[in-house]
Amino acid sequence: MRVRGFEIVTDEKRKHPEVDVQLPTRGSKHAIAYDIYSPIDTVIQPMEKELIWTDVKAYFQPGEALLINVRSSMGSHPVIMGNAQGWVECDYYNNPKNDGNLGINLLNLGKEPYVIKKGDRIAQAMFIPFLVSDNCNSDEERVGGFGSTGK
């Protein structure tokens, strides 16, 4: 039985079908997060954001989540996640809208363009367990993809 990991999204849901996608990797055996790689070259202009579709999806168990943050080394640049932090639930995997394609939304707060090359590490993802309360649960099912569970 597979427990957790990363895969390439289905061909029909890929945003960059011509690109060889690099699956996330850990930088060392004790690293707590997986580096996520850009599949494209791009430039984020000052005070602008860009959503970079990775063409990667993550599978994991109920009771777990995937947290996505910028890499700590990006702290020397004024680039942050456009939504502060990415939170991914297990039912995002294989969703009918985008097959679970992980999008990294980066915001350049700097005064200079921020250059990203194909293969650059642009974020980190960490699998974590989470708890639910006794009195605030939902039986709702996911019906969409990126940003579909709220406004």
pLDDT of residue 65: 97
CA separation, residue 106 to residues 36, 136, 150 (Å): 13, 32, 20
Interval 2-15 mean pLDDT: 97
Report domain extents, the chain.
Answer: 5-129
CB within 8 Å of 146: residues ≥ 6 apart: 97, 98, 101, 103
- In words, the CATH class of domain 5-129 is mainly beta
For the cut 90, the answer to whether the pLDDT of residue 133 exceeds it is no
What percent of the chain is modeled with pLDDT above 90? 78
pTM: 0.89
For the cut 60, the answer to whether the pLDDT of residue 150 exceeds it is no
Give the residue, 47 or 84, on which the prediction is more confident: 47
pLDDT in tens, 57-99: 999 999 999 999 998 777 788 999 998 899 999 999 999 999 9
Which class for 93: exposed (0-12), middle (13-18), buried (19 or more C-beta within 10 A)? Answer: middle
Q: How far apart are CA 107 and CA 5, in angstroms?
A: 27
